[in-house]
Chain A
Amino acid sequence: MADAGTTSTGEQSHELSTQKGQTSIADAVVTKVAGLAAREVPGVHDLGGGAARAVGSVSQRVGLGDQRSQGVSVEVGQREAAVDLTLVIDYGESIPQVAEAVREQVIKRVEGITGLSVTEVNIGVNDLYFPGEEQPEEETRVS
């Protein structure tokens, strides 16, 4: 029977040991789970502040960024995690209701997937989204 082992990945991660061995989950995983969970909630238009979204958009276009992690900050311990989110919410939605739904969804996903206990989900609403607000795509010069 295989026993437990360790792996050094050179990145931030937390270890979960079971009788069958050691499991390492990178903080990036917790960050992404929280971001994807928040995006599942109706009324959430986007995550991140204006600068983060602008930078994220550019970096994603050049293949460097991952917008799914923008607007999410996590602090991960051995057993617990705390999550900070910055949201853009659709205009007209109830901000308290959307925030509460996001909180519940993030806790459900992070606890269910990673096994960590979520101690807090802090939510900041950074902006409201109005339909038609996006910048139109630049017209291409060639067809």
Chain B
Amino acid sequence: MPATERVRLARLAEEAVAATKGVAASVGRTGVWATPDGGRTIPGVVAIALPQGRVEIALHVDAIWPPPPLTRVADTLRDRLVRSAQAAGLGDRLGPVAVSFHDVRAPGEGA
């Protein structure tokens, strides 16, 4: 079964987070910041369908100590996601992209 555009955008968002230095995906204390994708979940990404076939993406991340300036990291994440969505033919489907930093992971501190 092919993935929906919403899930495809969520996967691209996951890749954008993984490719960006200084951040790691966060599912939150209750694990709600995730998107179901078949038999697994995409952590730290909430993808919500909007009217007119667009998809809003919320990226939930922790910063890794010592992080670069967070606004710059957020813009890098957005730029990456926009580029990869365009490359995948989903550029017109991508809606608002919000980035939320929830915590800082210190050296030796896990997720």
Chain A residues in the interface with B (C-beta under 8 A): 1-7, 9, 11, 13, 16, 18, 20-26, 28-29, 32-33, 36, 68, 109, 112-115
Contacts and interface: CB of A to CB of B under 8 A. Distances in A.
A25 B28 CA distance: 14
Interface string B14-29: 0000000000000010
Nearest to B30: A10
A114 B81 CA distance: 22
B70 interface: yes
A41 to B, nearest CB: 14
Contacts of A5: 56-58, 95-98
Given A26-B100, A115-B69, 11 more contacts: A2-B94, A5-B57, A5-B98, A11-B102, A23-B99, A23-B100, A25-B70, A26-B103, A29-B101, A29-B102, A36-B106
B101 A24 contact: yes
B63 interface: yes
A105 B74 CA distance: 23
A89 to B, nearest CB: 21
Nearest to B58: A7
B69 A113 contact: yes
Interface in B33-69: 46, 56-58, 60, 63, 65-69
A21 B74 contact: yes
B49 to A, nearest CB: 13
A100 B75 CA distance: 33
Contacts of B74: 16, 18, 20-21, 23
A26 B101 contact: yes
A23 B101 contact: yes
